Structure 1
Amino acid sequence: MTLPSGSDQALALRDLAIEIGTEAAGLVRTLATGTVSVSATKSSPVDVVTEVDRACEELVRARLLAARPQDAVLGEEEGDTEGTSGVRWIVDPVDGTVNLLYGIGEYAVSLAAEVDGEVVAGVVVDVAKDVLYAAALGHGATRDGVPLRVRPSPPVPERLLLTGFGYRPDVRAHQGACVARLLPRVRDIRRMGSCALDLCHVAEGTADGYVEDGPRPWDWAAGSLVVTEAGGRFAVLAGAPAPHRLTSEDSVLVASPAQGWDDLVALLRQTGFLA
């Protein structure tokens, strides 16, 4: 499959991601109707992998290989496969695996395409609700084909923020302390369980911002483009030194409408999320 360059390439990659992501979400939806059980763990006993994760990633890789055999692929479950085309796909087969395990309807298939290191296309499929978020660089973001726009930012004390927690106890202890300092200073905080969907919620205006320490590129690559193409800002910023991280490093995801960005970042520094 040969793609055009520039803007048209972003659209073609997005359309391929929509096709493959929709099929993958259908597979996850079908498998989720049966018994979902843990098949392995990763960073801790509560960081789980299911056979649904593995089957979905296998399908996505097979479809990508058939369509674009020269592309690289980075997947959460199967790691990095090198390519020669300058395009790399970043795949999270199920973002929100614990929600899937418990039958909580907040998990997604996330599929992004980078060109020379820049994300140019992203698709996040909310599996349980059958909602498709998509974006192409320079062409905006959509939800089921309808253009998305972030909501205007209210004053900081009136903002509803989303967050998440890691799986290691030391990471969770730091995150919990930061959230405890943040909570009295905003309208409220929600923990939904899927980084990719949290970013899409900011993009569609059902939240005023998002912060989380530690997600990996497959968690946020597609959602980051959806939120920025919807008029928001996204960055991976240096986290404050903490017991699990003795020095500052770029590990804290932040997203919000562009208009309210500076105030949110200042608040996250004051409450210990950011260096």
Structure 2
Amino acid sequence: MRTMSSHELRDLVRDIATEAATLARTRREEGVSIAASKSSPEDVVTAADREVEAFIRGRISELRPADGFFGEESGAEKGSSGLTWVVDPIDGTVNYLYGIPNYAVSIAVVEGEPDPATWTALAGAIVNPAAGETYEVGRNEGATLNGVTLFREAHVEVPLALLSTGFSYSAERRMWQTGIMQQMMGRVRDYRRMGAASLDIVSVPAGRADAYYEVGTKPWDHAAGVLIAREAGIRVEGLHGSPAGAEMVLAALPGLFEPIHDLLVEFGAEG
């Protein structure tokens, strides 16, 4: 199999994500059926989630048969090329179910083991078909939204910072998360909670939030978004310098990162 340049890989990720997003939007317009629940009755999988992931997997198998695959709905499969495609076929499934136009196909290609703590993300794309928005990124090539370069250098003080976050499907864990948010609320401008982690992460480079944090995300939730944010000048880590992952993804304007991090620790985000 021919080695692809990072730019070619970026284009391929974008094209497959765009095709998959078109399929997702078509199925949404036709009507949505719940196929199953996962971690709780609130954590649903639609038939479209499964169909879109199968479509993506098929396209990768056709075009990059030696690559591995790590998807939300169908699990992981090692390849021989050293590259793995990390796929969330429909991020924001509850939004999708209710017809809220804030859902996306998120795809990243990573090198190394499919573990956010050790992999190197090479390219990614997040496509929200309802909004007509395509985020794409290549490692050391920058990130774009609908072809326009994303890069933020703004300085925002904590009391004027707009934060974005997400919550667990577990009711007990949501209560803990909202307790942290309640304490944070008195220190910042306000919060937005939109229901799709991939889009929440890229809301920071897009200028729609100044910081995003969430506990409990899965690799497919943030693989593409973290690379997009970093290439756009956003600082992304976990707590205390750890890699972004399930314990914490914090993406913030560089000048906001430390004060937001310290408030989260003060208010119990370490669990």
Q: Which bracket does the TM-score occupy, shorter chain normalised?
A: over 0.9
The alpha carbon displacement at 1:206 in A equals: 1.2
Q: Which residue of 2 aligns with 1:255?
A: 251
TM-score computed with the length of structure 2 as normaliser = 0.93
**1:66-215 superposed matches below 5 A:** 66-116=62-112, 117-150=119-152, 152-215=154-217
Please tell me whether the aligned partners of residues 67 and 83 of structure 2 are also in contact (alpha carbons under 8 angstroms): yes
The alpha carbon displacement at 1:47 in A equals: 0.2
SS at match of 1:251: coil
C-alpha distance after superposition, 1:127-178 (max 9, x if no partner): 2111100111101000011101125131101100000001012211211111
- Note closer, same or farther for the CA distance 1:119–1:11 as it changes in structure 2 (3 Å cut): same
2:265 aligned with 1:265: no
Which of 203, 225, 228 is equivalent to 1:226?
228
Which of 44, 49, 52 is equivalent to 2:40?
44
Q: Which runs of 5+ in 2 are unaligned?
A: 113-118
The 2-side partners of 1:273 and 1:187 are apart by: 19
Q: Which residue of 2 aligns with 1:242?
A: none
Please tell me whether the aligned partners of residues 163 and 211 of structure 2 are also in contact (alpha carbons under 8 angstroms): yes
Runs of 4+ in 1 over 3 A off after TM superposition: none
The 1-side partners of 2:9 and 2:120 are apart by: 13
TM-score computed with the length of structure 1 as normaliser = 0.92
SS at match of 1:185: coil
Cα RMSD, aligned residues only: 1.4
SS at match of 1:64: helix
Greater Cα shift, 180-189 or 146-155:
146-155
The alpha carbon displacement at 1:250 in A equals: 5.5
2:27 aligned with 1:25: no
Please tell me whether the aligned partners of residues 194 and 200 of structure 2 are also in contact (alpha carbons under 8 angstroms): yes
The 1-side partners of 2:150 and 2:258 are apart by: 22
Whichever residue aligns with residue 34 of structure 1, its letter is E
Whichever residue aligns with residue 99 of structure 2, its letter is G
The 2-side partners of 1:236 and 1:62 are apart by: 33
Whichever residue aligns with residue 218 of structure 2, its letter is R
The 1-side partners of 2:28 and 2:50 are apart by: 13
Whichever residue aligns with residue 216 of structure 1, its letter is K
Which of 31, 37, 42 is equivalent to 1:35?
31
Please tell me whether the aligned partners of residues 109 and 126 of structure 1 are also in contact (alpha carbons under 8 angstroms): yes
SS at match of 1:203: coil
The alpha carbon displacement at 1:263 in A equals: 1.5
Please tell me whether the aligned partners of residues 237 and 250 of structure 1 are also in contact (alpha carbons under 8 angstroms): no
Whichever residue aligns with residue 175 of structure 1, its letter is Q
The 2-side partners of 1:2 and 1:257 are apart by: 38
